Every structure is written in C-alpha cells, then in structure tokens.
Amino acid sequence: MFGHCPLIIDVTAGAAGKNQACLLCGSAGEAHSTEAAGLNESVSRFHLQRAKREIRNNIVAKILQDQHEGLLAIVGRPNVGKSTLFNKMVGRRRAIVGDEPGITRDRLYGKVRWNGRQFRVVDTGGIVPEDKDLIPSEIFRQARVALEEASAIVMVTDVRTELTGPDMELARLLQKLGKPLYLAVNKVDDPKLEAEAENFRRLGIRNLWAISAEHSTGVAELIEELMTVIPTIPETEDEKRPNNFARRILPTKESELGMDDLGYKDGPEDEDEGETPDELALEDRLLESMPSEIKIAIIGRPNVGKSTLLNQLTESERAIVSSIAGTTRDAIDEVVQHAGKQYRFIDTAGIRRKGKTHLMAEKLSVVMARKHLEEADVALMVIDAVEGVSALDANIAGYAHESGRSVVVVVNKWDLVTTARTDGKPPADSRLYEEQLRRTLKFLDYAPVIFVSAMSGKNIRRVFEAVERVACARWRRITTGEMNRFLKTVDFERASVPERNKVKIYYMTQAAVSPPTFILFTDKDVKLHFSYQRFLENEIRDAFVFEGTPIWIKISPRKRREFVPAPKKITSSREAKKLKKRD
C-alpha cells in the first residue's frame, strides 16, 4: 500500500522541487501512503491520468503567465542623442529630434522587434538632477517613473563632451537602483573617437558600448546584449485595421466595385424588399466590426488643458502639466480600459499658426500633432471656455474634419465661467454657449459638445460615453438594400440646386467605413453642388444617426452603352453572291 504517488512526481518535476506537497493529500515527500491520499486500488487509471494531465496543464499555464514583456529605459543629460537612439531602436521617427537641448519632456514608449522577439523601450527627457526649475524637475519626476518600471537601463552620453558633475551624480543614482545598467557613449562617428569613449569608464559603469545612433553603428550589438537581460516575448504584429484610415482613392466604376457581378445591370428599381445577394457580397468589402482599440487624439490650441485632460482620463500623472504654453512637445499616448473597452488617448502638442512657430522643435511638434491626428479614429477638440472659440480653433477643427476623423468638441475649464467665476459676471449658460460655438464651427454641426472641467474631473465620464457613440457610428455599415429603400423616401425637390447641377441617382451603396463613404451612381459626370451634397448628408444622418462622424459622398457616372447594329441576315443565295463580290 505504500509507494510513489504519481501525482507528486509530476508536481516535483515541473514546479518547486522534491519538497512540494501532493495536491490531493497534502503530504510532503516523494514516497507516502496512497491510503493517506485517499487513493485505493479501486480508483481507475483514467481518473489518475486525468488528474496528472490537469496538474501538468496548470504548470504550463503558470510558466506562460510568468513570461512578460520587459522594459528598457533610456536616460541621460539633455542633447546627448537619447531620442535618436530611441527612434533607431523602434524603427520609426516616434520622437522629435533636433539640435535644441530639452526637446523631449514626457515619457515616450515604443516596441523593439529583433530576431522574432520584442520588448518595450521608453525615452525620457534630459535629466539634470539638481535643477529645481518647474520643467526640469517635472522631467526628472517622469524619468523616475520610467526607471521604476524598467527591467534594464541605458545611460547615454556624448563622446564629444567632457564628463560633468551631473553625469557623475546621475550615474550614482542609477547604480543605486541595482538594475542591469549599460553605458552607451554616443556620437562615435569616427573610429578615432573610440579611444575617447574609454574615458567614460570613470563613471563606474562596467558595460560600456561605443555607438553612433545616427549612423546605426553599434546599435545592433547593443540590442543583442540587452536581450540577454531583458525579458522578451515572441514578436507580435500590430492589429490590422482595414478601412480604418480615411481612404483618399475609392472605386468609382461599377466594375471596380463589383456591381456587375452583384446583378446590377440597369439599377435596383426592381429590387425585392428582402436581403439580396449584393448585400452579402458587399459585406466582404467592408470592415465587419470595430477594432479592439479605439485611438483618440486630443487636439487644440496651446494651453487649453489637453495634458490635464489626458491625466484625468488616465487617472495618472502621465503628462507634464504647467501654465507655460507649449509644454507638450512629443505626442504622448496611454491605453485606458473603461467599461470593457480599450481606448488609446494621444495627447498632441498645441497647434499654433505658422507665423507663431519660431523654434524648430515647435514646428516639428505641430507636424507630428497633425500626423497623429490623421492616424487616430476620433479627435477630442478641446476649447478653452474662458477664451471662447477663436479662428485658430476653427482651423484646427477643420484639420480633423477634412481628414475624415470623428469629432467630439470638449469645452474645458467650464467651472471657471460658472461655479468658480470671480469676475462678478453671471454664470455662463451652456445652451447659449453651444449656439455660439456652432455658429463659428458650422461645418461640425454633426459633432457632440460636452462641457467639462479637466482640473476637477467634472463630467469626465461623459467623454467616454461620447467617444463610444461616435466610434460606433464611425464603423456603422448600411446595406445596399437599405440605402436604396431610403432613396425612395427622399424628396430631392426640396434641395435648392441649379438646373445644370441636378443629377438623377440610379442607386447608392456604402463603399467604406471609417469614415462612412457612399457612392452615387448617376446619369451625369458632374460634381455635386455643395447644397445638394449637404442636403443628402443631412438626410442620411436623420435616417441612420451618424453622430460625430463626417460622411463622404462620391459620384460614379454610368457609362452610356454604344449601340451596335446587328448583322443583316442573308435571305437568298443571290445576296450571298453580291456580298462575296464586295469582299
């Protein structure tokens, strides 16, 4: 009756060792009584094997759970090339790079993919430990957060500069953390400078690498070394998002859209009320569902509270906040889980007029802000309630509208014109304020307007609700049958259009989502009159509730079929002889 319990053999083989207790009886050691374990000879081999299999699966699951994606932190003094190294590692221009010191301020995250494995990397602003000014101290605070999260650290220095006191102080701070530490001596563009790099061993960091981030010299070898100490996971591809970005070129011919194959020869006038084969075929050309992650860009003028709004939405001190206009330079993104859905909020730099941007970093930040706007799904257009809607606000909102982004207008600092007003004037009325706003932003009549206070967190939950609504509308798909039944109900006589611009619409179909894009098959190759297009857009919104998202309408004129006369029939042998003589 005494022997080796097969359950404990599997446990000790895959877990903590010989002292692991049996999961059934709780006894320790390899040999123990099967009677104590409650196992007798009547227990079937099937149940025993099933128990062994469950334990083995639990061990494998635990091992897989322990695998995680490590994080590398890149730190150093200002203007030593940290952002250049960061961009080189992630394989794209994620961070703004320039000759001006102190361009990077917030933390920027990216992914390093190498030989089928990947890990995360974070770029930090230039650290000056003893600087007590607001911006440098906030940069140091952000860098400390990155250092606490990091699995390994790379300190970057400039080979062309002498060692300074801040370099020594920073090296001592990093060594106290007890994490794998590497010294990357950057800007070694000439082999003659490799000897100069050895002078930096005075910092006391043993792992020294001479690199040139701009020319990729030594970067690959550094990544290979880092992967020996940083936990990595198998490389994963970014989520594919078909039709997610606004399509500039759309099929405008029936043959390209496949309407001939769907059975549309002379239009769907005789279409049956039920679902037709064209609707099933068109589903293959459209995005079936929303992506798992919604990208939201926070845009607006400088100093309207975009970074404060990001911190409130993420419930963290993710971005540096100050009263200095233009504090944010790089676009900062953060993922938020809310009500079972995943949102990626992107805080962009304040967009200025071209004549107001003087420094190269400011110009690049505006370019990057517009780039991240075009990569987003939804734009949060932030407006300062105290200053009101300006012409620059209208220009920025126009960028979002023209690029096909869904828009939510967020009026921030609402408490300063209502409950916390100190100028003696009566509190502002939200209804009148919205009417004034919509008069200035006439082209955004489809966008919802919400009033919030990012500083106090008032009405922040409404931001998530509005984003969810406009995101659902952005990916809404209307079948061709529904669209053509809708066309029959539209009274086009109400549209005030010049006679030469009037067109006859044979049928209509949705060719893309994100944003919703419709193609009209008409009798003329003319551009839709703006009043006619606005009338049709409003009718579509009223019928299908496309809240917060622009609607694009394209024209596809139907080609006139050339008449080809049928060959004349030969009725007699005499006519056949005459025809042969002609040939």
Residue 425: the pLDDT is 85
Domains and CATH numbers, the chain: 2-66 (no CATH), 71-234 (3.40.50.300), 254-286+476-557 (3.30.300.20), 293-474 (3.40.50.300)
What's the sign of the alpha-carbon dihedral 568, 574, 579, 582? Answer: negative
CB 170 within 8 A of CB 197: no
- The alpha carbon of residue 553 and the mean position of all alpha carbons in its chain are separated, in whole angstroms, by 26
Q: Are strands 108-114 and 117-123 parallel, antiparallel or unpaired?
A: antiparallel
Task: Summarize pLDDT for 475-488 with one digit per residue, the tens.
Answer: 998 998 899 899 88
**Which pLDDT band holds residue 577 (cuts at 50, 70, 90)?**
low
Query: What gap in Å lies between CA 166 and CA 489, rounded to an integer?
Result: 74
For 56, the token pair is 């083995």
DSSP 526-537: -PPPHHHHHHHH
Check pLDDT > 80 for residue 112.
Answer: yes
Any idea which of 13-27, 396-410, 504-518, 527-541 has the lowest mean pLDDT? 13-27
Check pLDDT > 60 for residue 342.
Answer: yes
pTM above 0.75, yes or no: no
The residue among 333, 324, 451, 321 whose CA lies nearest residue 386 is: 451
* Highest mean pLDDT: which range of 466-470, 480-484, 502-506: 466-470
Query: What gap in Å lies between CA 54 and CA 303, rounded to an integer?
Result: 58
Residue 398: the pLDDT is 93
Count of beta carbons in the 10 Å neighbourhood of residue 379: 31
SS3 224: helix
Task: Summarize pLDDT for 248-299 with one digit per residue, the tens.
Answer: 333 444 444 444 433 334 444 434 344 443 444 333 333 446 788 899 999 9
Residue 569: the pLDDT is 59
Check pLDDT > 90 for residue 88.
Answer: yes
- DSSP 8-state code for residue 212: B
Within 8 A by CB and 6+ apart from 437, the residues are 383, 389, 409, 411, 449
Task: Summarize pLDDT for 377-402 with one digit per residue, the tens.
Answer: 999 999 999 999 999 999 999 999 99
Residue 205 CA: distances (Å) to CA of 2, 124, 266, 433 = 58, 20, 78, 60
Name the average pLDDT for the chain. Answer: 77
Residue 59: the pLDDT is 45
Residue 304: the pLDDT is 92
Any idea which of 11-15, 61-65, 468-472, 544-548 has the lowest mean pLDDT? 11-15
Residue 1: the pLDDT is 35
**Which pLDDT band holds residue 503 (cuts at 50, 70, 90)?**
confident
